[in-house]
Chain A
Amino acid sequence: MIAPALQAAALAAAPHPLSGTAADWVWALPLFPLAGFLVNAALAVVAVARPGPADPSADRHSAPDATAAGEDVAGHGPGAGDADAPPPARHRFASVVSLVGPLAVGLAFALACAIFAAMARVHPTTPFVQTYFHWIPAGDLQVNAAFQLDQLSLTLVLVITGVGALIHLFSVAYMGDDPGYARYFAYLNLFVFFMLVLVLGASYPVMFVGWEGVGLCSYLLIGFWYADRANADAGKKAFIVNRIGDFGFLIAMFLLFVQLGTLDYTGVLAAAPGGLEAGGPVVTVICLFLLLGCAGKSAQIPLYVWLPDAMAGPTPVSALIHAATMVTAGVYLVVRSGLLFAMAPAASLTVAVMGAVTALFAATIGLKQWDIKKVLAYSTISQLGFMFMAVGAGAYVAGIFHLVTHAFFKALLFLGAGSVIHAMHAAYHATHSHEDAQDMRNMGGLRARMPVTWILMWIATLAIAGVPLFAGFFSKDEILGTIFDRAGGSILRDAHWLGIPGGVVLYAIYGMGLVAAFLTAVYMTRLMLYTFHGQNRTGEAARPHLHEAPWLMTGPLLVLGALSAVGGFLNTPAFLPIGPAETLARWLDPVVGPATALIAAGAPGDADPRRGLLLSLIAAAVAATGIVVAVVRLGRSAPVRAGAAPETGIESVLAHRYYVDEAYDRGIVRPLLAFSNRVLWQGVDGLIDGLVTLGARVWVWFGGIGSALQTGRVGTYAWALVVGALVVLAITIR
């Protein structure tokens, strides 16, 4: 696996403290899910290729949150809910797939834990790079297929494989009755593989491979029930919007290579201080293009529009890809390029402003959505905005911290929502109702029916709202506190953003963050109230069919619930006397320390601990106020029935998500389509077609002459022969 010569050269230079430990097995991390993908994909293909009597697609039964039609096959009747329909058919190889899929990710998680144990013992200050082969040897451009293991990538690996394994387990129960079961797990395993490549890659190009790969898997899984046009369209939308971001990432890579001549992280880190002018236009442009890539992948304004639509995929996919892991890739990229961003204060401020605006914007939309998954989708966008606020303000640790805690509680929220949808769908399925299983207006009072889900969802809600001692409180508080500190003294304060002093910008961001935190508490409490409290609105017939999910689904929820409750203690602030303080900060220091120090330069010595405490109290008060406001405003009133009493004024604008999709449609999509139709297709294409046709005509004409010479009469040929002979004679005899 490892090219011996390269490895030997690396070892000869300086044996890394991690070599000889479990870290040597880092290459196996992505191979586990890749193997799982191969097995599951083979099973999926075999199952389709040889439809036998047990062919599950013969009578399709779509998974819970499907408004989707069946798949892989035609010939199922429209009446999936017919009384005489056979019971849901399992995939032919369901048992094997159920074993392989979660096991592949579980093994990777186990290995990651072993590597973590080794790394915690050594705590290396330099990254452990393992090179496998020359991938792109082209002149000056030398890109190796190499993995880099450091505290940052390992943190991400643990989250991806840990949360990923839980979601795989959940999926076993959730997707059990889906005819595309093997295909689902194949995609999911492939996603984990690419995600691990993304975070483990030792250079931007290797990361880009993972970056594109997760985009592909996201597309495949959003459109998993592709027989329904809307789902396929949502997948395409995600893919196309992400292309815009990828364009930015690519341009940034090109610029980096032109300026520094290397694309390895270590090389860039070493070359950047000398090769780029700090605060200069070049590094700023590079960072802004990187940011464009991040905005696409992490669903930030202006490229966030794909994420709400991505909810068309199965709910565990939303939990894994569109909440916990893939969408945080942008945050990872900014932290990975932290030194570059620290050298470009204007770009850093742009990151923070973008995050703050997104956080606030998405939170307001979340207030008025009725689809339970849409609320969570906008919540995810908003929380990603928080992460970008953090990394933009140079609070890299806080950003990663929020990434980790968010992975816990948002995965829990999505899986809890999945559990609810599963129950709702089953109930409606049993009663042949065609109500929307995801509409909160159809829920209510589920507390009594699904107590475990109810309690766990409340834990996640308290965590995301920022109630003290839950995970989200510490991370969000650290973000806001650090932004406040940066506004008091840092290179960002001394920089300008569009002519506005950085300090003013940062204080404004802090304010927007507080408002967004308040709104977060409101919309999450609203979701809980409408889903679990009050009168049940599911309908008389369906109500008795509402049941708690099986243990295979509640089990992962329990683990995530525990993590959401205590995850915050990974990095408690120094001024709170609970547990060892700032564990994560110390853990990540070798990676993000230099960039943080650069950005925080000029900060006034020791911050007053009382100020930190005060900021924490403000954040906690904001969260509590949000929850109280939501309970007081919404607690007693039942929501309107679907379609009744349309909202007016600002409520209507929020319910329609600020008409952004419509504006994009009018402003970008349709003009582009019209331009393609009128100018490119009928104009340019017509011109090129005309030229091609003209060329063809010329040669047809020449051919006609040649053809006319072939009379078929021997006499003509004899004349030609004689004339030719005479010409030859005339030339040769002089």
Chain B
Amino acid sequence: MLAESIALSALLFVIGVVGVLTRRNAIIVFMCVELMLNAVNLTFIAFGRVYGYGAQAIVIFVMTVAAAEAAVGLAIVIAIFRHRQTVDLDSINLLKG
């Protein structure tokens, strides 16, 4: 049971990573980040079943942070869109010094 759960969460995580790396739309990259977080959540739950439920408490934290992150992140995306009429990450290089 544990091995399957780990394999699934690894799969989900890799999908998330690949999405973050390859997609150019900020919304989709954002959703992929959520996918990675949830893959980690799945790992916590699976391990929690074996080693005690303490780990599941972490999941609540992660979900809370993810919700906050979603709120802030989406707000930023909207702000950028208003500014530039695009959410294509390749055309946004404000971090360049």
Contacts and interface: CB of A to CB of B under 8 A. Distances in A.
A710 B95 CA distance: 8
Given A712-B95, A712-B96, A714-B95, A722 B89 contact: no
Contact of B97 (A710, A717, A718): A710
A646 B94 CA distance: 84
Contacts of B21: 715, 718-719, 722
B80 to A, nearest CB: 11
A644 B73 CA distance: 100
A724 to B, nearest CB: 13
Interface in B1-55: 17, 20-21, 24
Interface residues of B, number: 12
A10 B94 CA distance: 79
B46 to A, nearest CB: 19
A353 B48 CA distance: 107
Interface in A706-732: 707, 710-715, 717-719, 722
A713 B90 contact: yes
B17 A710 contact: no
Contacts of B79: none
B17 A713 contact: no
Contacts of B20: 718
Given A719-B21, A722-B17, A713 B92 contact: yes
Contacts of A712: 93-97
Nearest to B17: A722
Given A718-B20, A722-B17, A710 B96 contact: yes
B59 to A, nearest CB: 22
B19 to A, nearest CB: 11
Main secondary structure of the interface of A (DSSP, over half): helix
A445 to B, nearest CB: 87
Contacts of A714: 89, 92, 95
A705 to B, nearest CB: 14
Interface string B71-97: 000000000000000000110111111
B89 A711 contact: no
Contacts of A719: 21
Contacts of B89: 713-715
A62 B93 CA distance: 71
Contacts of A717: 95
B66 to A, nearest CB: 18
A712 B97 CA distance: 7
Contacts of A707: 97
A581 B17 CA distance: 113
A718 B93 CA distance: 13
A722 B21 CA distance: 9
Contacts of A715: 21, 24, 89-90
B39 to A, nearest CB: 15
Query: Can you list the 9 inter-chain pairs with the closest CB atoms, starting with the nearest?
Result: A712-B96, A712-B93, A712-B95, A713-B93, A718-B20, A714-B89, A710-B97, A715-B89, A718-B21
Interface of B: 17, 20-21, 24, 89-90, 92-97
21 contacts: A707-B97, A710-B95, A710-B96, A711-B93, A712-B93, A712-B95, A712-B96, A713-B89, A713-B90, A713-B92, A713-B93, A713-B95, A713-B96, A714-B89, A714-B95, A715-B24, A715-B89, A718-B21, A719-B21, A722-B17, A722-B21
Given A712-B97, A713-B95, A717-B95, 6 more contacts: A710-B96, A710-B97, A712-B95, A712-B96, A713-B92, A722-B17
